[in-house]
C-alpha cells in the first residue's frame, strides 16, 4: 500500500508531481523496500482517484531519476538505493548569517567613485541595431564554441581600432578577448613559472596585487616619483614582469613622460625574459591635449603586453576586455590554453564589432569626452570654492578620476564612517597602498571619480564631502 496524499486544490504542484514526491519520500524513508512492486498505473489511479496519465508521468519521472526500475510485462519495482548517512550534521541548516547578502539601498546616495561610468548618453538604440545585425549574420558562430581568443573578425576590428587611437602595433592573431582585465592577466600569468618576480606600482591596483600573491608569485610593490614607477627599484629586484599604467597612473593620475617610458623599455630589452604589462584602462579620456600613444607603440623588441577594456568607455556590465601578446608569449598562451573556452559573451562581441565598424563607438567616445571634461571642471571648481586653501588638486587632464589632498585632523576610519552617514561613496589613498603604511599627517588623499555623478549633484556631493572632512 502506498500512502500518498493528494491535494487537488493545490496551486503549487501538478497531480503527477504530488504522486512523484509522495512515492519518493516513501522510498527514501524506507517505508517501501527494495524490489517491492508498485501498484499498476490503473490500480494506483483508482486508489488515489486521479487519471492514469498522472500516475504514468509520476512513474516515468521516478524511473528517470533511478528511484524505481521496470521489468518487462511485470511492472514497476523499488530500486535498491544507498541510504544517507545520518549524523548530527546531516540535517540541512539555514545559510549562516555571515554568508547572507544584503542588497544595498542606493536611495539618497551620491557617488564619487572611480569605478563607475555614465551611461546616460549611451546610444542603446544603435547598440540594439548592431545586436540585431549580429544575430542575423552570425547564427552559425553563435551556435558554436568560439575560438579561445575570441572571434577573429572582432579581434581584427579591435586591432584596427587600437592602432588608430593608441598607436598599438599588432596583428589580430595577437589579440586575446576576455570578460575582464583581471581574468586575462590570470590566464597570462598561469602560463609562467610562479617563481617569476613581479613589480607593481605602489600605490596601485590592489586587486591585481592580491591576485598575483594568491597565484604564488614573488610580488614586489615599487614606489613612484614624479615621472612614474622608479626604474632603479625595478632593476634592483631583477623583476621578470613589471605592471604599469603609464597613460594615467592608477590611482595618482600621473602621466609617464617619454624619458621614463624609454627607460622602462630599455630595462625590458636588456634581458630576453623581461616583460612590461601595460594597463591602458581609461586612455580614451584626455582633455585639452590629444591622446598619448601607448607604451606598446614605442616597443621595438616585443617586450610589452598591452591590455585594454571597454568598461570605461561603454558599459561596465558588458565585461569586454582585451590583451595583446608578443609572439613568444602568444605561442606559450596557445600551447597552455588549448582547452580554454572564451569567457566573453559572443553576441556582445559581434555587436561590438558592428558598433565600432559603423562609427558609433568613436562618436560615443567623443560625446563622453566632452561630458566628462565638463564634469571634471565643475568638480574642481566646486572643490576649490568650498575647501579653498584646505585642498590641493593634482590637475591632470586625463581619465575619470583625480587625486585631491585635503587638510584634516580626521583619521581614515573616521572619514569612512562619516561618509557612510552622509551617504557619500568615496575612496581614500589607503585603499590603494599595497604595502606601505598610510600616514595622514593632518591630511588625507582622496581618489575622486566624476564619471557617474550628475552635473546638478556635484555641488551637493562636495557639500557632503565638506561635512565628512570637517575642515
- CA 409 to chain CA centroid, Å, is 36
pLDDT of the residue at 471:
57
Could you tell me the pLDDT band of residue 1, with boundaries at 50, 70 and 90? low
Q: pLDDT (tens digit, 9 = 90+) per residue, 376-404?
A: 999 999 999 999 999 999 999 999 999 99
Which pLDDT belongs to residue 438?
63
pLDDT tens by residue, 417-447: 999 999 999 999 999 999 877 666 788 999 9
In the prediction, which pLDDT does 85 show?
75
Predicted pLDDT at 67: 96
pLDDT tens-digit map of 154-166? 999 999 999 999 9
pLDDT digits 0-9 by tens, 176-224:
999 999 999 999 999 999 899 999 999 999 999 999 999 999 999 999 9
Residue with the bigger pLDDT between 471 and 261: it is: 261
* Residue 131 to residues 117, 164, 230, 257, 347, Cα–Cα distance (Å): 21, 24, 45, 40, 7
Q: Which residues make beta-bridge pairs with 200? A: 221, 243
**How confident is the model over 20-34, as a mean pLDDT?**
92
Percent of the chain whose pLDDT exceeds 90: 80
Backbone angle region of 470, left / alpha / beta, with phi > 0 → left and psi within -120 to 50 → alpha: left
Give the pLDDT score at 5.
85
To the nearest 10 degrees (0 to 180), the angle between helices 124-137 and 360-387 is: 150
Work out the average pLDDT over 101-105. 83
Please give the grid coordinates belonging to residue 387.
575647501
Q: State the average pLDDT over residues 216-241.
A: 95
Q: Give 68-88 pLDDT, tens digit per residue.
A: 999 888 999 999 998 877 766
What pLDDT is attached to residue 440? 65
Set out the domains of the chain in order of their start, with CATH numbers: 1-93 (1.10.10.10), 110-117+370-469 (3.90.1150.10), 124-362 (3.40.640.10)
Cell numbers 636588456 label which residue? 270
Name, in order, each residue with C-beta under 8 angstroms of 459's C-beta and a sequence gap of 6 or more. 382
Amino acid at each position: 500500500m502506498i500512502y500518498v496524499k493528494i491535494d487537488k486544490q493545490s496551486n503549487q504542484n501538478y497531480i503527477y508531481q504530488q504522486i512523484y514526491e509522495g512515492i519518493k519520500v516513501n522510498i527514501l524513508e524506507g517505508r517501501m523496500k527494495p524490489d517491492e512492486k508498485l501498484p499498476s498505473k490503473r490500480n494506483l489511479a483508482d486508489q488515489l482517484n486521479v487519471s492514469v496519465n498522472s500516475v504514468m508521468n509520476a512513474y516515468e519521472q521516478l524511473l528517470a531519476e533511478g528511484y524505481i526500475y521496470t521489468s518487462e510485462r511485470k511492472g514497476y519495482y523499488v530500486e535498491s538505493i544507498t541510504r544517507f548517512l545520518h549524523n548530527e550534521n546531516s540535517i540541512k541548516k539555514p545559510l549562516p548569517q555571515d554568508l547572507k547578502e544584503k542588497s544595498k539601498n542606493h536611495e539618497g546616495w551620491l557617488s564619487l567613485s572611480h569605478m563607475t561610468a555614465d551611461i546616460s548618453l549611451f546610444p542603446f538604440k544603435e547598440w540594439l541595431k548592431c545586436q540585431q545585425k549580429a544575430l542575423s549574420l552570425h547564427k552559425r558562430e553563435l551556435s558554436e564554441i568560439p575560438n579561445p581568443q575570441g572571434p577573429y573578425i572582432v579581434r581584427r576590428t579591435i586591432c584596427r581600432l587600437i592602432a588608430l587611437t593608441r598607436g598599438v602595433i599588432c596583428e589580430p592573431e595577437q589579440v586575446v578577448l576576455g570578460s575582464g582585465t583581471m581574468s586575462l592577466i590570470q590566464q597570462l600569468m598561469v602560463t609562467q613559472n610562479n617563481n617569476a618576480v613581479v613589480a607593481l606600482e605602489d600605490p596601485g591596483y590592489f586587486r591585481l596585487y592580491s591576485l598575483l600573491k594568491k597565484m604564488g608569485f614573488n610580488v614586489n610593490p615599487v614606489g613612484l616619483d614624479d615621472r612614474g614607477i622608479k626604474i632603479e627599484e625595478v632593476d634592483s629586484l631583477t623583476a621578470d614582469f613589471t605592471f604599469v599604467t603609464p597613460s594615467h597612473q592608477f590611482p595618482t593620475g600621473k602621466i609617464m613622460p617619454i624619458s621614463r617610458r624609454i627607460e622602462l623599455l630599455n630595462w625590458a630589452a636588456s634581458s630576453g625574459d623581461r616583460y612590461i604589462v601595460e594597463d591602458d584602462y581609461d586612455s580614451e579620456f584626455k582633455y585639452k591635449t590629444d591622446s598619448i600613444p601607448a607604451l606598446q607603440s614605442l616597443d621595438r623588441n616585443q617586450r610589452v603586453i598591452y591590455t585594454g577594456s571597454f568598461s570605461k568607455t561603454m558599459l561596465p556590465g558588458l565585461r569586454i576586455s582585451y590583451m595583446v601578446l608578443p609572439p613568444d608569449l602568444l605561442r606559450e598562451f596557445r600551447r597552455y590554453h588549448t582547452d580554454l573556452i572564451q569567457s566573453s559573451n559572443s553576441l556582445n562581441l559581434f555587436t561590438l564589432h558592428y558598433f565600432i565598424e559603423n562609427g558609433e563607438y568613436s562618436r560615443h567616445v567623443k560625446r563622453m569626452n566632452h561630458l566628462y571634461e565638463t564634469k571634471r571642471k565643475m568638480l574642481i571648481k566646486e572643490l576649490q570654492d568650498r575647501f579653498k586653501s584646505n585642498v590641493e588638486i593634482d590637475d591632470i587632464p586625463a581619465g575619470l578620476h583625480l587625486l585631491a589632498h585635503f587638510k584634516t585632523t580626521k583619521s581614515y576610519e573616521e572619514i569612512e564612517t562619516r561618509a557612510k552617514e552622509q551617504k557619500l561613496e568615496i575612496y581614500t589613498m589607503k585603499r590603494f597602498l599595497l604595502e606601505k603604511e598610510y600616514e595622514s599627517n593632518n591630511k588625507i588623499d582622496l581618489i575622486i571619480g566624476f564619471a557617474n555623478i550628475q552635473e546638478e549633484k556635484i555641488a551637493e556631493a562636495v557639500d557632503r564631502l565638506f561635512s565628512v572632512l570637517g575642515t
